[in-house]
Structure 1
Amino acid sequence: MSTETHTSVRLTLFKHSAGSFLAALDEAQIPHGPIHMFSTTPQGSGLVEAITALSEAMPWNAIAKVAVAWIEARKSREIIIHTETGESIQAKGYSASEVQKLLQKSTNVIVIDTKPVDES
């Protein structure tokens, strides 16, 4: 029996963020996969992905760097990190090392781009 612990980062992608953010994760070689959710009641629309790894192997620094670079690339982008203490923190303006610390305490990360990629 293994005593290794798994860690995951849950990403909820809204509006036009899915293609560009998932491509940024792919470019950084950070594996991710969809979470399929089933419900009998209406749910908010958004694509849900997860990054899962053994706790010691979670690429926290790489994820934080991707998040900061993705936000800084366009003014229409935002990432909101929900923590286990119930806080909601907008990652815009934070450094990669600050975002890394927040991601380690996250319960959900909301990724939003309000404009399509082909719009300025």
Structure 2
Amino acid sequence: MSTGTHTSIRLTLFKHSSGSFLAALDAAQIPHEPIHMFSTNPQGSGLVEAITALSEAMPWNAIAKVVVAWIEARKSREVIIHTETGQSIQAKGYSASDVQKLLQNSTNVIVIDTKPVDAP
């Protein structure tokens, strides 16, 4: 999501993805912060984080590299990028440059790891 002066990537982390994915962002020195959501209706159980920066300062390449490396580290991991045009694209198998282009047009990024970090 972009407003012209700043850009934000919304990350929704499910299952066992939050610890390892946020640690990967931290290791790459990509700042992120939680989004606290309040609703009177039932909501999904995912943790929501955001990466926000001035439009020209968003580290697109670094974020794309984190996404690709995180997916490739375990078979139980998946990242789904929802775009402004309504597409849902699974990032598995894409290069960092392709993921970077997808992230720049994203409305939400779903991050999932179906197995705990200590599972084989």
Name the TM-score, length of structure 1 as normaliser.
Answer: 0.97
The answer on 1:57 being equivalent to 2:45 is no
Number of matched pairs? 117
Letter of the structure 2 residue corresponding to residue 80 of structure 1: I
Q: Deviations over 1:58-87 (max 9, x none)?
A: 000000000000000000000000000000
| Alignment-derived partner of residue 48 in structure 2 | 48
What is the CA–CA distance in structure 2 between the aligned matches of 1:95 and 1:6, rounded to whole Å?
25
Structure 1: how far apart are the matches of 2:113 and 2:44? 16
Structure 1: 5+ residue runs without aligned partners? none
**C-alpha distance in 2, partners of 1:24/1:44?**
23
Q: Partner residue of 1:70?
A: 70
Alignment partner of 2:39: what SS? coil
SS in 1 for 2:52: strand
Q: Deviation at 1:37?
A: 0.3
- Counterpart of 2:119 in 1: which secondary structure? coil
Give the C-alpha shift of residue 110 in structure 1: 0.1
Where does the alignment leave 5 or more consecutive residues of structure 2 unmatched? Answer: none
Task: Determine the C-alpha separation between the residues in 1 that align with 2:62 and 2:118.
Answer: 26
Structure 2 distance, partners of 1:55, 1:30, is 15
Aligned twin of 2:36: 36
Runs of 4+ displaced beyond 3 Å: none
Q: What CA distance in whole angstroms lies between the structure 2 residues aligned with 1:74 and 1:14?
A: 15
Matches within 5 A, 1:1-120: 5-120=5-120
